[in-house]
Amino acid sequence: MRTYVLDASALLAFIEDKPSAAKVEALLTEAHRGHARLMMSSLNFGEVYAKILREHGRNQALRTMSALNPLPVDLEDATPQRSFHAAEIKTTFKLYYIDSFAAALAIENKATLVTSDSDFRKLGHSFPIVWLKN
């Protein structure tokens, strides 16, 4: 079974029905059928909430996040070990710290990262990436 890590841009593409939403929806369908595993760092999930909160207010942000609960995405905590790994990635590749959690999760799980964030190009070929176009 293939494992994917969604970063905030992937989930936002799905929520905002951007052109790449179909690709994310296909992964969600595969996960729902048990043919793929989707993961996301709880920090990146919080980043999605922050963007919706900033643009649409608290009520809409809470409604949107609540609507995401049934999705087949495993939210992973920022453990001390993962925090250190993310810090090492941040320092080595000059990524934003929060993005480093998605990268750390992908590396730890030998997973494919799903993103539209071009900053991840800094990592070279550390792990496979599905690039979304918005």
Asked if 26 contacts 62 with a C-beta cutoff of 8 angstroms, the reply is no
Q: Is the pLDDT of residue 91 over 70?
A: yes
Residue-range domain boundaries for the chain: 2-131
Q: What is the DSSP letter of 127?
A: S
Q: Is the pLDDT of residue 125 over 70?
A: yes
Write the class of the CATH domain 2-131: alpha beta
Tokens of 39: 């993961």
Calpha distance 89→11 (Å, rounded): 22
Helix (H, G, I), strand (E, B) or coil at 130: strand
**pLDDT value of position 126:** 78
**Burial degree of 110 (CB within 10 A; 0-12, 13-18, 19+):** exposed
Query: CA torsion sign, 87 to 61 to 54 to 121?
Result: positive
Can you give the pTM of this predicted structure? 0.94
pLDDT of 29-69, one tens digit each? 999 999 999 999 999 999 999 999 999 999 999 999 999 99
Helix (H, G, I), strand (E, B) or coil at 33: coil
CA angle 44–4–51, rounded 5-degree value: 25
